[in-house]
Structure 1
C-alpha cells in the first residue's frame, strides 16, 4: 500500500523544468528556416517534417502552467490560491512581465537599428534573408497592442514584431480566468465542470461569432484546465480521485492520447486545430500524473522521467522562458548572416540549425541573468534575507 502524500512535505518535481526546457528547444528548432530557394537534401527535408508541431509545444507550456498553479491549491486545505487575488496577480506579473517587456524592447531596438541602416546607408531589409519569427516592419497599433498584451486577439497584430509572443498574451489572459472563473466552478461543481467550463468559454466565440479571437488560440484555456485536472488527480485526497490516480494506466493513456493528437492534427482530415491540441493537452496531463506518481511513490524512475530530470534538461528549463522570448530575433539575425555566405542548400540548413540554436541558447542565458532571474521569487527571497541580515543591529557599524 502506498504511503499517503504528506501535504506539508516539500515536493521537488524537477522533471517539469526539464519538460519545459525540451519543449522550448523544440520551438526554437521549429522556427529555424533552413530553406533558401534550392531543394533541401533528403535528411533535412525529413527532419523538417518532424518540426511541424509547434502548437503541441505551446500546449505543454499552457498545461504546465495549469498544473503548477493548481498544485498549491490541490495540496491546501482551503481550495483557494495562497494570499489574496491582488498578491496572486503581483506574483504572476513579476514572473512574466519584466522579461516580456525586456524582450519586446530588444525587438523594437533591433527594428529601429534596421530603420536607421535603411535611411543612412544602402542596406535594405531582405525579407527572404530575414525570414523567421521577427519582423522589423510594424505599426503603432502593433506596438500598443503588444504593450497591453492584447495583440493575440487580432489576426492583424498577433504575428507582428516578435511572433512567438502571441502565446505569452494568451497565457497572461488565462491567469485572470483561473482564479475568477475556473477555481470558483471547481470548488462549487467539481473538476469535470471546471474543465468543461474552460472549453465552453474558449470555443463559443469561435463557433458562435465566426471565429472571433481565433488568432489567440483560446482553446488553450481548456488545455490549461487539463493541467489543473492533472494536479488535482495527482494530489487530491478525495476517495474517487485517489482511486483514479492509483488504478488507471497513466503512461499508456499518455501514449494513446499522443497518437490520437497526431492523427487528428493530420491536415488531410480537415479537423479544426483545437482538437489535436486538446488531445495533446490530455496526453500531457496524463504524463504529469504518471511522472509525479513515480516520484511521490518513491519508485524507480522510468526512462522518460530520467530524460526530463537530466541536469541539462533541467538547466534548459531554467532559461526556457527567456529562450522562448528572444529566439525569434536571434534566429533572423543568424539567418541574415548565413544568407550572405551563399552556401549550398545542405550546408545552409546545417549551419542554420547549428548556429541558430547555439546563438539562441547563449543569448537566452545572458538575457535570463539580466532580466528574468532578478525577478524570480526564490532570488528575491534570498536577496531580501541577505539585506535583512546585513541591516541587523549586530551586523551594522556606525561610520
Structure 2
C-alpha cells in the first residue's frame, strides 16, 4: 500500500512495493536473535529491566516469533492469490519452492556441524529436523525453529484445501488441545513436555497472524494512509510489546515458554500489528543495511550461535573480563558471524535461490517478487 488515497494498488504492483518492507522486518528479526544470543553470552542478565533497548536485547528470542509471522505471510500468499484468481496453487510447486529455499543451506550446515563434532550419529535425524538444543553440541541450538517451519510447510496445502466449516472445526480442536497442554499437561511435567512449546501446536498463532495479514493485504480493505497515524500506532504497539517482553527479558531461560505458554498469542498479535504498519510504508526504513541483513538472514541465523559460543570461550581464555574488553569481543563475534554468513550466502544459498526462481511456474511471476 502507498501513502496516497484512492483505489488499492493492483496485486502485482502492491507486492513489488512491499519487498523492501519485508526486508526491514527480516532485518529486525535477525538482529534481535543474533544480538540477544551475543549480548546474553557476554553480559550477565540484570535482575530487573526498565530500559526498552535492554528489554528487546535480552528478550531477542521474540525475533523468532517475527520470523514465523513472516513465514505465515509469505508461504500463504501464493495460495491466497491463486484462490483470488479462481485457481489452485500447486502443492508440488509449494514443496519444491520451500525445499529449494531451506534444505541446501541447512543440510550444508548439518554436514559441517557433524564434521566438526567428529560424529555422524545425528546426521540422518538432523536431516529430518529431529535434532535441536545441544544434541549436536553448540551447532544445533537454533535448529528447533526450522523443524517448526517445516511442520508449517507440510500443513499449509492441507489447510487451504479444507472447506471453511472443516477448517473451523480444526481451529476449535487446535484451541482445545493448546489449552489442555498449556494449562494441564505441561505445568505438571515441564521437563518431559517442554518440547511441545517449540512445536507448531504452540507457535501456530504467529503463523496464523501472518496468514491473516496476507488476506488483509490482498483484499485491500484495510489501510493506514496517514504517516502520523502509523507513527502513533507504532509507538503504542511498541510500548505494549515492551511491557509484554519485560518478564521474558529478565527470566528467559530454556523452558521459559513452558512457564508462560500463553504469551505467544499477545506477542504474535502485537508483532502482527507492527508488521502490518511496516507494510503500509511507501519506502524502506533501513535501506541498504536492511536489505543486506535480510539477504543473509538465514545463513546468519544458522552460523551465529557457534561463533558467539566460541567467541566467549576465546575471550575468557585471554582474560577479557573488563567491560570494554567484553564489548570488543561481542562486536567481533557479530562481525565475524556476518562475514561468514555472507560467504555462506554467496557460495551455498544464492545458487539455489537462483535455481528456485528459475523453477517457479511462469504464472506465479508476481509471487516471485515477494517470496524469499
TM above 0.5, yes or no, is yes
Deviation at residue 177 of structure 1 after TM alignment: 1.7
**Matched pairs, number:** 335
Give the number of the structure with larger relative contact order, counting CA–CA contacts within 8 Å between residues 6 or more apart: 2
Q: Which moved more, 1:267-276 or 1:341-350?
A: 267-276
Cα drift, residue 255 of structure 1: 4.3
After superposition, what is the alpha-carbon deviation per residue over 1:260-283, rounded to whole angstroms, capped at 9, x for unaligned? 344344439999534333222112
- How far 1:77 sits from its partner (Å)? 4.1
Unaligned runs of 5+ in 1: 113-137, 296-300, 383-399
2:130 to 147, 150, 164: 150
Q: In the alignment, which residue of structure 1 is the partner of 2:270?
A: 283
What CA distance in whole angstroms lies between the structure 2 residues aligned with 1:281 and 1:99?
27
- What is the SS of the residue equivalent to 1:306? coil
Segments of 5+ residues of structure 2 without an aligned counterpart are 360-372
Q: CA deviation at 1:78?
A: 4.3
User: Residues 146 and 265 of structure 1: is their aligned pair in 2 closer, same or farther, counting only changes over 3 Å?
Assistant: same
Shift of 1:252: 4.8
What CA deviation, in whole Å up to 9, does each residue of 1:347-379 have, x standing for no partner? 331122210010000000001112111111566
Take 2:273 and 2:138, find their aligned partners in 1: how far apart are those partners? 34
Q: Distance in 1 between matches of 2:276 and 2:62?
A: 18
Look at both structures and tell me which one has the larger radius of gyration over its CA atoms. Answer: 1
Equivalent position of 1:385 in the other structure: none
> What is the aligned partner in structure 1 of residue 151 from structure 2?
173
1:214 aligns with 2:219: no
Is 1:11 aligned with 2:3? Answer: no
Cα 1:356–1:195, aligned 2, differ >3 Å: closer, same or farther? farther
The answer to whether the 8 Å contact 1:202/1:222 transfers is no
- Give 1:316 shift: 0.9
Quote how far apart the aligned CAs of 1:258 are. 4.1
1:366 alignment partner in structure 2: 343
- Where 1:110 maps in the other structure, the secondary structure is helix
Residue 188 (str. 1) matches residue 192 (str. 2): no
Instruction: Compute the displacement of 1:149 (Å).
Output: 0.7
- Tell me how far apart the structure 1 counterparts of residues 274 and 66 of structure 2 sit (CA, whole Å): 10
Stretch moving more, 274-283 or 360-369:
274-283
**Is the aligned partner of 1:73 residue 2:79?**
yes
CA RMSD of aligned residues (A): 4.0
Local SS of the residue matching 1:376: helix
C-alpha contact 2:69 2:268 (8 A) present in aligned 1: yes
**8 Å contact from structure 2 (residues 308, 333) kept in 1:** yes
State the secondary structure of the residue aligned to 1:151: coil
Name the counterpart of 1:95.
101
- Cα pair 1:70 1:231 within 8 Å, conserved: yes
**Displacement of 1:74 after TM fit?**
3.1
Instruction: Write the distance in 1 (CA, Å) between the matches of 2:44 and 2:203.
Output: 37
- Which aligned pairs between 1:24-173 and structure 2 lie closer than 5 A? 24-32=30-38, 50-78=56-84, 83-112=89-118, 140=121, 142-151=122-131, 157=135, 161-173=139-151
Between 200-209 and 164-173, the greater mean CA deviation after superposition: 200-209
